[in-house]
């Protein structure tokens, strides 16, 4: 049963011919409304995850639920088909269960509010936003147990319900939900922030409709959808071949000992449409690294990568969706069956972007970026603060780390930056003031960015000195399969985690671990991956390599990957450099379009020696994904 929409005014919107200028003005106003949503959210949210890191995503849709502004695509159509109820003025939908919305949110930590916007009795738009809640209960702090066997272990799961019903707030519902989390204060503030952002956008939509007229506004949204459709149609004809191209990459492990998991995508053009087929992707995991990939979301990612280059001012919308056919096998890592656990989906979500880049760039290497879209490395640290004067107060930290941005056609990848839009790091002085920790080191990891004409960005080495006993959990990837380089560039270095005890002994910690007990004065070295390199490293200016030695970004040993011989002060030995470069050129063979580093077999064989961790075990499935 699809949702029943209750409108007191049944008059349909009239289609009006919109002149191009009015259209552009409405497009601009919609863009501003979206910026306003973000600003409202960041100012009123409270969890460090949202307020400092901006982990939230806004959307404005037309009256049929198609996204007009946003970047994660619209799920509203799918939601309406599944929602067995009414939708009327004064309602606001609240949900977090990925299985109830076709993966619009992909783990239960993401809380989503959806506001149908009514004007004069007619449904004229939807506004929606989702954001990551720091804790929603469940078996571990932060509610993302990597070793969960089903979604029931991952905290409160909210099916689509009405948080506001015909203007009336459902406070019992919210009491029940907030009772499940370890951080009701953060959840309540963050939810308020999401709601305030949706209301602001709704107000703007109504103002626009008032200013231009309802029919003009609605017709303009349709024309904007049409504009995206036409643009994409042209691009597809231009940039996508009929001959299929494939690309595959891996998630290193599932946190319970198995891996790597392959994600494969094949792309071709057929009857003017693009087919993106994930056949060949491994079946779902028994643990929580599954990523319930919403087809529309992937359409949007694809569209953004395609259109970005040609008219960066365009407002991305759903208009081109029927031109993209996304096929995801049931029961695969990207379309797991209920009740598969989903909380650790961040790694596959990140990897999707490396795969997109690898797919689209194959025919046009000059536009190809290296790999580095690893994931969002997560750290959880919690306990009762035993420092004097703290009275054993409960604390919990969820922090997202950053790594190296890949080498790009444009130039070097920035060191220690975020590939996610809007994300920022948490100031270390903030961490030291509000959590029992001292950040002893916050520097980029030299040589971690892959060598190339354009160097991959370095990852970050962050050393936490923990000042209270407690537990930590870590979710990271790219520790086993390196981020690849392109056009002759080398792969970046892999992620590592080391726990250094007060007596100096070091323990290698896995990159997906739960509930590791820590003691006072333990130091955790949290080292993230480096971006892959772009282009032939032997073409890089030796003086620049020397300079980067003095900057602490490259070491003399690392300089040899560029064929550069230099000392610790960055002085380049020109003759030795010449000789080394000649030697490398003579022996290396043809430059590879993609340099993945060693084969999976070799990585496995050398895993313990290179990473200090046992190699993941090849998962075996009874049946392949369909």
- Site residues for other proteins, 248-307, by CB under 8 A, read 301, 304-305, 307
* Cβ neighbours, 10 Å, residue 487: 24
* Cβ neighbours, 10 Å, residue 272: 10
**Taking CB under 8 A as the criterion, which residues in 509-538 touch other proteins?**
none
Q: How far is the CB of 296 from other proteins (least distance, A)?
A: 14
Beta-strand runs (E) in 259-372: 261-270, 273-277, 324-327
Q: How far is the CB of 461 from other proteins (least distance, A)?
A: 9
Dist CA 432 CA 84 (whole Å):
48
Verify binding: residue 247, other proteins, rule CB under 8 A: no
Site string (195-224) toward other proteins, x via CB under 8 A: -x--x-------------------------
Stretch that binds other proteins, among 99-107, 273-281, 284-292, 431-439 (CB under 8 A): 431-439
Dist CA 368 CA 363 (whole Å):
9
Q: How far is the CB of 258 from other proteins (least distance, A)?
A: 30
Residue 320 burial (C-beta neighbours within 10 Å; 0-12, 13-18, 19+): buried
Q: How far is the CB of 439 from other proteins (least distance, A)?
A: 7
Q: What residues form DSSP beta bridges with 185?
A: none
Instruction: Report the residue count for the chain.
Output: 626
Out of 59, 117, 198, 235, the only residue in the binding site for other proteins (CB under 8 A) is 235
Q: 554: closest CA among 478, 458, 488?
A: 458
Q: How far is the CB of 466 from other proteins (least distance, A)?
A: 14
Q: How far is the CB of 221 from other proteins (least distance, A)?
A: 15
Stretch that binds other proteins, among 130-138, 180-188, 472-480, 612-620 (CB under 8 A): 180-188
21 or 620, CB closer to other proteins?
21
541 or 626, CB closer to other proteins?
541
Stretch that binds other proteins, among 34-42, 169-177, 533-541, 573-581 (CB under 8 A): 34-42
Q: 206: closest CA among 33, 28, 11, 12?
A: 33
Dist CA 150 CA 147 (whole Å):
9
In angstroms, how far is CA 154 from the centroid of its own chain?
A: 19
Q: 496: closest CA among 618, 354, 612, 375?
A: 612
**Taking CB under 8 A as the criterion, which residues in 43-72 touch other proteins?**
43-47, 51-52, 71
33 or 499, CB closer to other proteins?
33
* Cβ neighbours, 10 Å, residue 50: 23
Dist CA 371 CA 373 (whole Å):
6
Stretch that binds other proteins, among 30-38, 151-159, 519-527, 603-611 (CB under 8 A): 30-38
**DSSP of 382-406:** EEE--STTSTT-EEEEEEE--BPPP
Q: How far is the CB of 230 from other proteins (least distance, A)?
A: 8
Site string (535-564) toward other proteins, x via CB under 8 A: ------------x--xxxx-----------
Stretch that binds other proteins, among 22-30, 250-258, 331-339, 613-621 (CB under 8 A): 22-30
**Taking CB under 8 A as the criterion, which residues in 82-121 touch other proteins?**
none
| Coil, helix or strand at residue 582 | helix
13 or 420, CB closer to other proteins?
420
**Taking CB under 8 A as the criterion, which residues in 311-350 touch other proteins?**
311-314, 316
Q: What is the DSSP letter of 84?
A: -
Out of 75, 94, 126, 186, the only residue in the binding site for other proteins (CB under 8 A) is 186
Out of 74, 96, 147, 418, the only residue in the binding site for other proteins (CB under 8 A) is 418
Residue 340, token pair as written in the block = 């598969």
User: Mind spelling out the 3-state secondary structure of 119-168?
Assistant: ECCEEEEEEEEEEECCCCCCCCCCCCCCCCCCHHHCCCCCCCEEEEECCE
Stretch that binds other proteins, among 2-10, 115-123, 129-137, 415-423 (CB under 8 A): 415-423
Strands 506-508, 437-444: parallel, antiparallel or unpaired by DSSP? unpaired
Residue 468, token pair as written in the block = 């209270």
Q: Which residues contact 551 (CB under 8 A, 6 or more apart)?
A: none
Residue 254, token pair as written in the block = 């599932």
User: What is each CA distance from 560 to 38, 312, 405, 415, 484, in whole angstroms?
Assistant: 45, 39, 21, 20, 19
Site string (127-166) toward other proteins, x via CB under 8 A: ----------------------------------------
30 or 580, CB closer to other proteins?
30
Stretch that binds other proteins, among 90-98, 231-239, 499-507, 608-616 (CB under 8 A): 231-239
43 or 327, CB closer to other proteins?
43
* Cβ neighbours, 10 Å, residue 150: 13
**Taking CB under 8 A as the criterion, which residues in 447-476 touch other proteins?**
460, 463
Q: Which residues contact 242 (CB under 8 A, 6 or more apart)?
A: 268, 269, 270
Q: How far is the CB of 367 from other proteins (least distance, A)?
A: 9
454 or 494, CB closer to other proteins?
454
Q: How far is the CB of 540 from other proteins (least distance, A)?
A: 15
23 or 516, CB closer to other proteins?
23
Q: How far is the CB of 153 from other proteins (least distance, A)?
A: 28
Verify binding: residue 239, other proteins, rule CB under 8 A: no
Residue 594, token pair as written in the block = 């993609």
Q: How far is the CB of 556 from other proteins (least distance, A)?
A: 15
Asked if residue 396 lies in contact with residue 141, where contact means CB atoms within 8 angstroms, the answer is yes
**Taking CB under 8 A as the criterion, which residues in 367-406 touch other proteins?**
369, 402, 405
Out of 284, 296, 425, 468, the only residue in the binding site for other proteins (CB under 8 A) is 425
**φ, ψ (nearest 5 deg) of residue 141:** -60, 130
Stretch that binds other proteins, among 27-35, 330-338, 510-518, 610-618 (CB under 8 A): 27-35
Verify binding: residue 27, other proteins, rule CB under 8 A: yes
Dist CA 347 CA 133 (whole Å):
18
Residue 77, token pair as written in the block = 């159509």
The count of residues interacting with other proteins (CB under 8 A) is 89
User: What is each CA distance from 527 to 407, 437, 537, in whole angstroms?
Assistant: 19, 17, 24
User: What is each CA distance from 220 to 185, 302, 470, in whole angstroms?
Assistant: 41, 24, 55
Stretch that binds other proteins, among 78-86, 252-260, 390-398, 440-448 (CB under 8 A): 440-448
Out of 119, 122, 157, 227, the only residue in the binding site for other proteins (CB under 8 A) is 227
């Amino acid at each position: 049963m699809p949702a029943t929409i209750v409108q007191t005014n049944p008059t349909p919107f009239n289609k009006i011919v919109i002149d191009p200028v009015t259209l552009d003005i409405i497009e601009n106003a919609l863009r501003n409304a979206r910026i306003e949503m973000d600003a409202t959210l960041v100012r009123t949210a409270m969890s460090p995850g949202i307020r400092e890191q901006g982990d939230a995503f806004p959307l404005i849709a037309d009256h049929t639920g198609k996204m007009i502004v946003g970047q994660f695509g619209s799920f509203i159509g799918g939601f309406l088909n599944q929602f067995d109820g009414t939708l009327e003025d004064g309602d606001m939908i609240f949900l977090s269960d990925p299985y109830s919305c076709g993966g619009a949110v992909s783990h239960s930590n993401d809380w989503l509010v959806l506001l149908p916007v009514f004007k004069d009795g007619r449904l004229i738009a939807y506004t929606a936003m989702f954001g990551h809640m720091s804790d929603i209960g469940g078996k571990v702090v932060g509610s993302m147990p990597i070793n969960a066997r089903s979604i029931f272990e991952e905290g409160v799961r909210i099916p689509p319900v009405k948080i506001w019903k015909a203007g009336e707030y459902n406070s019992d519902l919210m009491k029940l939900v907030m009772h499940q989390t370890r951080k009701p204060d953060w959840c309540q503030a963050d939810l308020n922030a999401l709601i305030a952002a949706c209301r602001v956008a709704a107000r703007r939509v109504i103002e626009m409709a008032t200013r231009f007229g309802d029919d003009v506004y609605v017709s303009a949204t349709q024309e904007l959808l049409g504009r995206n459709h036409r643009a994409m149609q042209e691009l597809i004809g231009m940039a996508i071949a009929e001959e299929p191209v494939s690309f595959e990459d891996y998630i290193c492990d599932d946190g319970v000992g198995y891996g790597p998991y392959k994600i494969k995508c094949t792309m071709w053009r057929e009857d003017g449409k693009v087919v993106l087929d994930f056949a060949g992707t491994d079946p779902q995991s028994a643990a929580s690294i599954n990523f319930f990939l919403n087809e529309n979301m992937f359409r949007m990612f694809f569209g953004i990568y395609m259109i970005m280059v040609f008219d960066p001012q365009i407002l991305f919308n759903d208009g081109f969706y029927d031109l993209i056919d996304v096929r995801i096998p049931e029961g695969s890592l990207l379309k797991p069956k209920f009740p598969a656990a989903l909380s650790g989906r961040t790694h596959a979500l990140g990897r999707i972007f490396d795969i997109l880049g690898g797919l689209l760039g194959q025919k046009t290497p000059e536009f190809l970026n290296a790999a580095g879209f690893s994931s969002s490395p997560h750290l959880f640290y919690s306990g009762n603060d035993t420092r004097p004067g703290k009275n054993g107060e409960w604390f919990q930290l969820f922090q997202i780390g950053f790594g190296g941005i890949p080498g790009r056609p444009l130039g070097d990848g920035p060191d220690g930056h975020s590939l996610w839009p809007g994300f920022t790091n948490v100031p270390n002085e903030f961490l030291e003031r509000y959590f029992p920790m001292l950040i002893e080191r916050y520097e980029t990891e030299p040589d971690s960015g892959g060598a190339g004409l354009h160097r991959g960005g370095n990852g970050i080495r962050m050393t936490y000195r923990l000042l209270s006993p407690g537990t930590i959990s870590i979710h990271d990837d790219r520790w086993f399969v390196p981020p690849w380089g392109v056009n002759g560039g080398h792969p970046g270095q892999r992620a590592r985690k080391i726990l250094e005890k007060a007596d100096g002994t070091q323990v290698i910690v896995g990159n997906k671990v739960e509930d590791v007990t820590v003691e006072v004065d333990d130091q955790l070295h949290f080292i993230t991956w480096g971006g892959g390199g772009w282009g032939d490293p032997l073409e890089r200016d030796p003086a620049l390599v020397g300079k980067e030695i003095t900057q602490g970004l490259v070491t003399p040993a690392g300089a040899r990957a560029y064929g550069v011989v230099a000392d610790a002060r960055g002085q380049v030995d020109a003759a030795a450099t010449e000789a080394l470069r000649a030697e490398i050129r003579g022996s290396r063979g043809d430059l590879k379009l993609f340099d993945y580093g060693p084969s999976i077999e070799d990585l496995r064989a050398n895993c313990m020696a290179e990473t200090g961790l046992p190699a993941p075990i090849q998962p075996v499935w009874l049946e392949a994904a369909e």
